[in-house]
Structure 1
Amino acid sequence: MNIRLNKRYCVLSVIISLVLAMSVSASAAYVGSSYISSQGACVIDYDTGDVYYEYNGYAPRVPASMTKLMTLYCVYEAMEEGKFDIYTPVPVSANVYSKSRCPEYQTVPLYYNTVYTVDELIGMVLTYSDIGSAVALAELVAGSEWAFVQVMNEKAAQMGTDAYFYDCFGVAHNKVSPIAIATIVKNFISKYPDILVRSSKRSVYFHGRNYYSTNHLFDTYYYPGADGIKTGTTTAAGYCFCATAQRDGRRMIAVTMASSSSGQRFRDATVLLDYGFSSAKSKYGTIVYTDTSTYINSNEIPTFGYMGKIVLIAQDLTNYGFDASYNDETRTLTLSYNPEKTYSPMSVEEYKGKEGTAAFPVGNTDIKIEIIKDGQSFILENSYNTNGYMCLFLDDLLNIYEVLWNQDEMKAEITVK
């Protein structure tokens, strides 16, 4: 009887999968001029939060094992609160023992009286998508699966998402939109960047065996800069994937839900990532390292390049005799030279890199830079934000201070009095 039921179940699964694939292809979307099969998708900028593309991005869908991203976030938060650490042994309950042997799940059997650490189980959840490990961690955090799911939902609400979970591993019909998944991951990376070290692993070694990543941006569908993060697959969800990659100092997070096939989800993700990076480059660009050097009263200051021009970080000037103040009401950073101030030149070698390679991502800003000289105010024409610091063009100082350029040495000398 069990054999017959399993055969009928398999046939039914094949039929449902075929219907799912047909429905996905019937409503395919385009990202720019590139096709994606996703029923729901988005790509966001990790640094700025910009949503560069979304298709049904705010519509809740079944996320399958992408659910485990919130599970792991809550585990990390419990560690931060001091409830346990990565070396803590995790007990195997009857519930964990049973679920780790369920043939319908992605599982590795866990045993009583065997020591499994938090560190090991996190690796198995993230890399291999192991359900038993997820349940064991959930019980460690909250005492039971049910109680842990309440923690997940509270955290989802605190993040401002509409995500709602019924389990901690993704077999239930949890409801999460592509934007919500991306938001969870953005928060995860920001608060616990160690997750990228783990999610970039091609495999994990667990009790005598290697288990390989389900993320094929590392191999079959190789994508430069990819370092995470989680796949998900069930009949209800289809083929899902949340990917992240870094390029030229910027990070993108892409989500595809209900792609048409296992392989297509990785193709869809690469299209989304490419579109995100292209959009960010058009909107923001990147500050790069340069062989050019700049001196203020014979003291070298870190120098960068942007759009073919020499760039300085405004706040660095405070090490070279300038006082700085910020007016939040007028959104103005004011710099003025103080001849009585002691110089503390920066170690410029720490800020050098290969000519033309990315140093910092750049964003537009409404903050103005003002320079006061001899009681006169100069508002600089250009100002840019890079990781919370303000950038200015050397060219904008030409009408304020004496600037000499040595073409042979690729050196600018600013004289400030």
Structure 2
Amino acid sequence: MNFGKKLGRFAAAGLVFLLVLTLTFQAPFASKADAAQDTLGVKAKSAILIDFNSGQILYEKNADKVYPPASMTKMMTEYLVMQALHSKKLTWDSKVSISDYAYQISQNRSFSNVPLRKDYQYTVRELYEAMAIYSANGATIALAEKVGGSEKNFVDVMNKTAKKFGMTSAHYINSSGLENIDLGKFAPYGGPNDSNKLSARDLVKLAYHVIKDYPEALTISRIPLKNFTAGIVAPNKPIQMVNWNYMLPGFGVNMDKFKYDGVDGLKTGHTDLAGYCFTGTVNRGGHRLISVVMGTTSDAQRFEQTRTLFDYGYQQFSQKTVAKKNQLIKGQKAVAVHNGKKDQVKVAFGKSYSITAANGEKVPSKFNVVLDRSKLKDGKLEAPVKKGEKIGYATLASNGSAKYGYLYNNNNQIPVIAAEQVDRNNWFVRMFKGIGSFFGSIFSWIAGLF
């Protein structure tokens, strides 16, 4: 064999060795979330699964890629209507007039709609239920106009709220999720081929806020069937609103293949451009999960893929309590107090806190405490210090095992409080302590001269 051939074989062998070595060193550092992405094989363009209570991300696939969300857009409209209700700008019985825009869109039954009348005023509740249960587009537009004065103004608020929630990829151009080609001359923003654009991460943040800020939204999103009778000319012929979320209970035997115990929301979406999408949430014994799948190929597939995510969340992870309210923080030094009847105060957790840990994973138990600098002067708290007063926060320290990302950075912050009351010394004691401190400083200065 000539020298050239030997050199070629050595080079090939070296390349194989280098490849094996690279794969060998990569594997131990792959996170469990990445491993889940390899093994779950979720059939969707993008997907994400989070634990609601802790804000931990348990799974993601292309979660930051931007796609049309279709009617999942309506979750933001739902949020802003709820916000208007809580701020007393609206009541559930407030009357809503129907514009020519909302009327014309509502007459198109090829979209999800309840046909609205221009000579009839609907209540906010009637339109909200049509939007949340039946994904009615005309009803959604009517609510957006009621809250914002115009849909264009409402869309501006949608985008401002998205920015506030850290939905960094979100861009809304209408309130319903229809594509501009369907809205025609009524489209408030964009060209004829434009649509709303959001990522799966954006949508799960939005769903998180809907549930966290206005949990009563779930009492409507969980309704499987309801008749719409408002404004119907023939009262004996109501429109049956069938919830597009087939994972809910209450549809009957024919739909049992989709039912998933504990599901109570939140929003489906479908257009030709977006495919079949679903933002789902499930609650079992207080353990709530939220998932998003975007761009599946069929009505059934969006629920099948959501089931895969929910099964993964419940079968592979467990909630572990790592902190209890008013429990002293182990290993944490007491905080110095100035002008107090005690010189220091012990610290405790301000609330109970649980994390979601993979089964068999060692749960971390060490905490890092960060004190609120605005409450400190020269590293001390000023008396009086009230028992239960928040003085900082604690975060779990890594124990070297797999860590999962959080939806928000502050999801893993536990309030730290004063575990006891420390009253302020009276003026007489403070005066003598001040004098003692003054002379102590002088003596220290003199001693330093020698």
Please confirm whether the aligned pair reaches a TM-score higher than 0.5, indicating the same fold.
yes
Q: In the alignment, what sits opposite 1:159?
A: 165
Q: In the alignment, what sits opposite 2:299?
A: 262
Shift of 1:365: 6.2
The letter of the residue matching 1:176 is L
Matched, 1:285 2:320: yes
Q: Does the C-alpha gap of structure 1 residues 98 and 31 become closer, same or farther in structure 2, counting only changes over 3 Å?
A: same
Q: Does structure 1 conserve the Cα–Cα contact (< 8 Å) formed by 2:68 and 2:196?
A: yes
Q: In the alignment, what sits opposite 1:186?
A: 208
In 1, distance between residues paired with 2:125 and 2:141? 14
Q: Does structure 1 conserve the Cα–Cα contact (< 8 Å) formed by 2:54 and 2:412?
A: no
Q: In the alignment, what sits opposite 2:433?
A: none
Q: In the alignment, what sits opposite 1:333?
A: 347
Q: Does structure 1 conserve the Cα–Cα contact (< 8 Å) formed by 2:244 and 2:268?
A: yes
In 1, distance between residues paired with 2:365 and 2:126? 43
Shift of 1:192: 0.3
Q: Does structure 2 conserve the Cα–Cα contact (< 8 Å) formed by 1:286 and 1:362?
A: yes
Q: Does structure 2 conserve the Cα–Cα contact (< 8 Å) formed by 1:31 and 1:272?
A: no
Shift of 1:362: 4.8
Aligned to 1:36, the other structure's residue is in SS state coil
In 2, distance between residues paired with 1:161 and 1:80? 23
Q: Does the C-alpha gap of structure 1 residues 158 and 314 become closer, same or farther in structure 2, counting only changes over 3 Å?
A: closer
What is the aligned counterpart of 1:315 among 308, 322, 326? 326
Matched, 1:175 2:182: no
Matched, 1:239 2:276: yes
Provide, for residues 182-233 of structure 1, a one-character-per-residue CA deviation record: whole Å limited to 9, x for no partner: 0001011110000111111112231133311100102520111111111000
Q: Does structure 1 conserve the Cα–Cα contact (< 8 Å) formed by 2:69 and 2:294?
A: yes
Provide, for residues 288-320 of structure 1, a one-character-per-residue CA deviation record: whole Å limited to 9, x for no partner: xxxxxxxxxxxxxxxxxxxxxxxx955289xxx
Shift of 1:80: 2.0
> What is the RMSD computed on CA atoms of the aligned residues?
3.4
Q: In the alignment, what sits opposite 1:121?
A: 127
Shift of 1:255: 0.3
Q: Does the C-alpha gap of structure 1 residues 93 and 334 become closer, same or farther in structure 2, counting only changes over 3 Å?
A: closer
Shift of 1:245: 0.3
Aligned to 2:44, the other structure's residue is in SS state coil
Gaps of 5+ in 2: 1-34, 180-194, 230-237, 337-343, 357-363, 370-395, 398-410, 417-450
Gaps of 5+ in 1: 1-28, 288-311, 318-324, 336-358, 370-381, 391-417
The letter of the residue matching 1:188 is V
The letter of the residue matching 2:214 is Y
Aligned to 2:198, the other structure's residue is in SS state coil
In 2, distance between residues paired with 1:279 and 1:156? 32
**How many residues get paired?**
293
Q: Does structure 1 conserve the Cα–Cα contact (< 8 Å) formed by 2:267 and 2:278?
A: yes
Q: Does the C-alpha gap of structure 1 residues 360 and 157 become closer, same or farther in structure 2, counting only changes over 3 Å?
A: closer
The letter of the residue matching 2:284 is R
Structure showing greater radius of gyration is: 2
| TM-score normalised by L of structure 2 | 0.59
Matched, 1:79 2:96: no
Q: Does structure 2 conserve the Cα–Cα contact (< 8 Å) formed by 1:189 and 1:196?
A: yes
The letter of the residue matching 1:72 is E
In 1, distance between residues paired with 2:309 and 2:196? 24
Q: Does the C-alpha gap of structure 1 residues 193 and 327 become closer, same or farther in structure 2, counting only changes over 3 Å?
A: farther
In 2, distance between residues paired with 1:268 and 1:237? 16
The letter of the residue matching 1:213 is N
Aligned to 2:326, the other structure's residue is in SS state helix
| TM-score normalised by L of structure 1 | 0.63
Shift of 1:108: 1.4
Shift of 1:32: 5.7
Q: Does structure 2 conserve the Cα–Cα contact (< 8 Å) formed by 1:239 and 1:259?
A: yes
Instruction: Give matches, 1:316-395, under 5 Å.
Output: 333=347, 361-362=354-355, 366-367=366-367
Q: Does structure 2 conserve the Cα–Cα contact (< 8 Å) formed by 1:332 and 1:367?
A: no
Q: Does the C-alpha gap of structure 1 residues 30 and 362 become closer, same or farther in structure 2, counting only changes over 3 Å?
A: closer
In 1, distance between residues paired with 2:46 and 2:284? 24
Shift of 1:51: 1.1
% same residue: 32
In 2, distance between residues paired with 1:234 and 1:193? 28
Q: Does structure 1 conserve the Cα–Cα contact (< 8 Å) formed by 2:324 and 2:353?
A: no
Shift of 1:248: 3.2
In 2, distance between residues paired with 1:361 and 1:247? 15
Shift of 1:102: 2.4
